[in-house]
Amino acid sequence: MKATFLTDTNAPLIIKEVETPVPADNQVLIKLAYSSLNHRDVWIQKGQYAGPRAGLILGSDGLGTVVGTGRNVDQTWEGKTVIINPSHDWGENPAAFGEQFKILGNPEPGTFAEYIAVDVQYVHEKPTHLTDIEASALPLAGITTYRALFTRAALKAGEQILITGIGAGTALLALQYAIAAGASVYVTSGSEEKIEKAKALGAIDGFNYKEANWFLKAKERTGGFDVVLDSASGKGFGDLIETAKPGGRIVFFGGTNGPIGNIIPNKVYWRNLSILGTTMGTLQEFKDMLAFTAKHHIKPIIDKVYPTLSDAQQAFDYMHEGRQFGKIVLTNV
């Protein structure tokens, strides 16, 4: 089969012929139609991610048709259109994953290929309200933001939430989940155009994080936030603390801008803030995310669809530039 291959850190992705996988016991073989990028894929290529950095088929999200089954797998999976939960081997403790945990696409072969073999426990029928392209873009951003908002930050109806970097695939799904949960959503972005697009999707207001002291303006205009959801980290994280109401929860799952270096201790403990880390989610959270997404007819926002797997490097470069508003998808031919 044809697969995109990362040969080395910072090397461009190449297309390579590799053995088509054979489904093992408890696995299905999926012929992939679409796959979608996550920033993790770009971090891995750039050598900014733990674990192997070469000899990989990347990709954590995909949609396809089941074309083969291993032993112990119900034959009725054959021919079904499915998506894949990329959060593998979480372990027994719902509070945090265990030592065997991995995310599809590193080190296991990922979705930027014509076929993939995966354990049937991670395979779910495509949500019927989504197109194939939308469904291919849901799993990783869905599980991450669902756990962040509802399990970790316990977002409730009537609360005010700030979602940072709204152009991100994750942030845009979080915006839709938070609105569906009855929260009032505010956003940040480095782009005025993206703020306007977010308002069209239901955000009440937005703030440009490139403006000096944007966080003071945000606090003044809104009265502060019960929940802040972030994936940028970096020096700006201290500003997010300023925007939280006393007793507020700041939940984050990314380090796009590197280490958080400027937390003033009393700004956190005096105001009884909670700073919550989160990553991916459990099997149950994935199922709950699918049910919530279907119930509220939530559709991942798609920025761009590239026509072939050979466009993967172009898609990676586009994500690295950060111009997207939503998910970037590859067609797996």
Ligand X SMILES: NC(=O)c1ccc[n+]([C@@H]2O[C@H](COP(=O)([O-])OP(=O)(O)OC[C@H]3O[C@@H](n4cnc5c(N)ncnc54)[C@H](OP(=O)(O)O)[C@@H]3O)[C@@H](O)[C@H]2O)c1
Chain contacts with ligand X (rule: CB under 6 A): 38-40, 43, 140, 144, 164-170, 188-191, 194, 209, 231-232, 236, 253-257, 279-280, 319, 322, 324
Quote the least distance from Cβ 209 to ligand X, whole Å.
5
CB 132 within 8 A of CB 31: no
Tokens of 202: 């239901």
Between 109 and 281, name the residue whose CB sits nearer to ligand X.
281
CB 34 within 8 A of CB 86: no
Quote the least distance from Cβ 171 to ligand X, whole Å.
6
- Tell me, rounded to whole angstroms, the distance of Cα 120 from its chain centroid: 21
Between 272 and 284, name the residue whose CB sits nearer to ligand X.
284
Quote the least distance from Cβ 263 to ligand X, whole Å.
16
Quote the least distance from Cβ 312 to ligand X, whole Å.
15
Quote the least distance from Cβ 129 to ligand X, whole Å.
22
Between 73 and 138, name the residue whose CB sits nearer to ligand X.
138
Between 222 and 279, name the residue whose CB sits nearer to ligand X.
279
Quote the least distance from Cβ 169 to ligand X, whole Å.
4
Written in H, E and C, the secondary structure of the chain is CEEEEECCCCCCCEEEECCCCCCCCCEEEEEEEEEECCHHHHHHHCCCCCCCCCCECCCCEEEEEEEEECCCCCHHHCCCEEEECCEECCCCCCCCCCCCCEECCECCCCCCECEEEEEHHHEEECCCCCCHHHHHCCHHHHHHHHHHHHHHCCCCCCCEEEECCCCCHHHHHHHHHHHHCCCEEEEEECCHHHHHHHHHCCCCEEEECCCCCHHHHHHHHHCCEEEEEECCCCCCHHHHHHHEEEEEEEEECCCCCCCCCCCCHHHHHCCCCEEEECCCCCHHHHHHHHHHHHHCCCCCCEEEEECCHHHHHHHHHHHHHCCCCCEEEEECC
Quote the least distance from Cβ 49 to ligand X, whole Å.
8
* Residue sitting closest to ligand X (CB): 165
Between 32 and 166, name the residue whose CB sits nearer to ligand X.
166
Between 73 and 162, name the residue whose CB sits nearer to ligand X.
162
Quote the least distance from Cβ 322 to ligand X, whole Å.
5
For strands 274-277 and 244-252, give the pairing: parallel
Between 120 and 229, name the residue whose CB sits nearer to ligand X.
229
Between 2 and 40, name the residue whose CB sits nearer to ligand X.
40
